[in-house]
Structure 1
Amino acid sequence: MASASAAAGPPRTASVDVAGRAVRYAATGSGPPVLLLHGLERSLADWGPLQAALPGYRVLAVDLPGFGGSQPLPDWRLASLAGQVEGVLDRLGIASGVHVVGNSLGGAVAMQLAARAPARVSSLALLNSAGFGGNVSWALRVLDLPLLWRLFLRPDEGLARETERLLFHDPAFATDERVATALALARREGAARASRNMSRELGSWRGVHVGWRRELLAQVAALDTPALVVWGTHDRILPAGHFINAVAALPRARTHLFPRCGHLPQIERTAETAALLRS
């Protein structure tokens, strides 16, 4: 990624209609397009700090279908989510040259987008991405267990705060503002069901299914698209052992492992992550 420097300014939030369903996005700046895709149970709010750290780019953070301010789809296949994201690019007139950045679930969607539209994607950056291992946090496994899943139907501040703290190595990043945002997202109508449906599409209480991972990684490994894999040593959602798997699965990718960093390097290591993307 290379660009001229210019102030990014505050994000401009809007929605576009894709296949009859609203998709929300937040845009900053102008220049080469950068697409940011968030993780499970999250929203485009996770990208605010990184958007501000990427002047000189047209940065688009998108709420994935069923999350944040975007309407759900009838099915939860990665291909369907990637199709909606591609539809956003169509509506905004972005035909090619997109630098795609995905965190967690968003990383898997980013890989799916690159596999289905390689001519459209200039580079791929995967931050603590889903798709590289079967072992995941209990917080994801319980979504497949009916009795425990019911807890997510009645979110409260205590649960939101504990979940938010799981995402970071440094608990100071689990601010009251972020907890309030997470709680508001969890209380949206259909939010718990969206998280459960997406989780069950990709795995079960035993872990992440191997079938879709093997197929998708084979497709991405065959691409000529430049790739970057970033992880945090203290990720308690997708353990850093997944990083080792990613290095093996994508041997041509650039890689970086942040010490003392959790699941959201775009927040916990904003400046360093932005520098990696720009380089």
Structure 2
Amino acid sequence: MSTPQFLTLPPGVFPVELPLSHGPVAALRATPPSGSNPELCPAVLVHGYTGSKEDFIALLQSLAQVGREVVTIDLPGTYRSPGFETFAPTPGTPLPDYRLPSLGMVVAEVCDTVGAGRPTHLVGHSMGGLIARETVLTHSTELASLTLLCSGPGALGGQGAARVRMLVAALSAADPTPGRLRGLWEEHMADGLETRVPDAQVRAFLRDRLLSSSPEGLLRTAEDLLSATNRTGELADADVPTMVLYGENDDAWSPAEQAEMADRLGARRVVVPAAGHSPNVEAPETTSTALTSFWNDCESVGQR
């Protein structure tokens, strides 16, 4: 799981709630300084599996300081965003589920809401990259760019997949109640946490984040993470400026796999030195600089 180093919101960053067609989602909004260029396209950041909007706290202020509004959300059923199953369906309209198409639809609506008629820069971290890709391929929203942050071309493999399969087994075997998340935390995630995460406030947050999430959402998104098809060819044909950004020590999708994907996409490729699967946490200044440079270049090309 992605683990923020701190939880205090920087100046200019505020918690907000975005009303969407299915119900609200919780978000953090970073506002640009007064007097900034209002023409810059805003950005939307999407977290990965078992993550949340807090995974991007270290980026938000520096991304907004150049004059760009930045919003990061909790996906439905994650932490402070209520799950799909908590809403009454509209007659004749089934509720969305937690599969990639439904989550891509939610992200598309977030982009439309944040953009308010302007193109939006979209960033997806890990599983969030698969969701962002779905937004590009199956939903009509105007994007200024797409960044795949430590994400891959299809299903997760290797040791990361083994860990996710363990979570799927634990979620599937337990009673279908929120209590199964407590068992999941105690049996599979809490061991050794004090050594890995010395900050007691962050440890409490990680526990609260998991226990506040939807068991159904965690199960279904894990299943898609393990079975997602490779749609790199389709994405290459989508004609959206794309960047592939990852840590040189990424242990989810391998750096070689992400480099090959970037080549097939004709994408800008940025490798963050000494970082692993979460350069947004491990190297926020390098990551922020790479994003800002890419976004500025995309907007400069669009204005020619």
Whether the 8 Å contact between 1:135 and 1:239 is mirrored in structure 2 is no
User: 1:149 & 1:105 partners in 2: Cα distance?
Assistant: 23
Whether the 8 Å contact between 1:36 and 1:100 is mirrored in structure 2 is yes
Give the alignment of 1:1-279 within 5 angstroms: 9-30=11-32, 31=38, 32-54=41-63, 55=65, 56-73=67-84, 74-92=96-114, 94-117=116-139, 120-136=142-158, 137=160, 138-146=162-170, 150=174, 152-154=181-183, 155-156=185-186, 159-160=189-190, 175-188=199-212, 190-203=213-226, 209=227, 212-214=228-230, 216-250=231-265, 252-279=266-293
User: 2:194 & 2:245 partners in 1: Cα distance?
Assistant: 20
Counterpart amino acid of residue 198 in structure 1: T
Structure exhibiting the larger radius of gyration computed from Cα positions: 2
Aligned-pair identity (%) = 25
Whether the 8 Å contact between 1:111 and 1:220 is mirrored in structure 2 is yes
Counterpart amino acid of residue 62 in structure 1: I
2:296 corresponding residue in structure 1: none
In structure 2, relative to structure 1, the CA distance for the partners of 1:80 and 1:64 (3 Å cut) is same
TM-score by length of 1: 0.80
Q: Offset at 1:62?
A: 1.0
Q: Offset at 1:244?
A: 3.2
Q: Offset at 1:41?
A: 0.9
Per-residue Cα deviation, 1:126-149 (whole angstroms, up to 9, x for no partner): 110143454141321212324896
Q: Offset at 1:263?
A: 1.2
Q: Offset at 1:160?
A: 4.0
* Runs of at least 4 residues off by over 6 Å: none
In structure 2, relative to structure 1, the CA distance for the partners of 1:200 and 1:182 (3 Å cut) is same
Counterpart amino acid of residue 142 in structure 1: M
The alignment partner of 1:68 has SS state of: coil
User: 1:36 & 1:159 partners in 2: Cα distance?
Assistant: 25
Whether the 8 Å contact between 2:111 and 2:141 is mirrored in structure 1 is no
Per-residue Cα deviation, 1:148-179 (whole angstroms, up to 9, x for no partner): 965754224982475798xxxxx6x7744332
Q: CA RMSD, aligned part only?
A: 2.8
Whether the 8 Å contact between 1:121 and 1:225 is mirrored in structure 2 is yes
User: 2:258 & 2:113 partners in 1: Cα distance?
Assistant: 34
TM-score by length of 2: 0.74
The alignment partner of 1:95 has SS state of: coil
Q: Offset at 1:241?
A: 3.8
Unaligned runs of 5+ in 2: 1-9, 33-37, 85-95, 175-179, 294-304
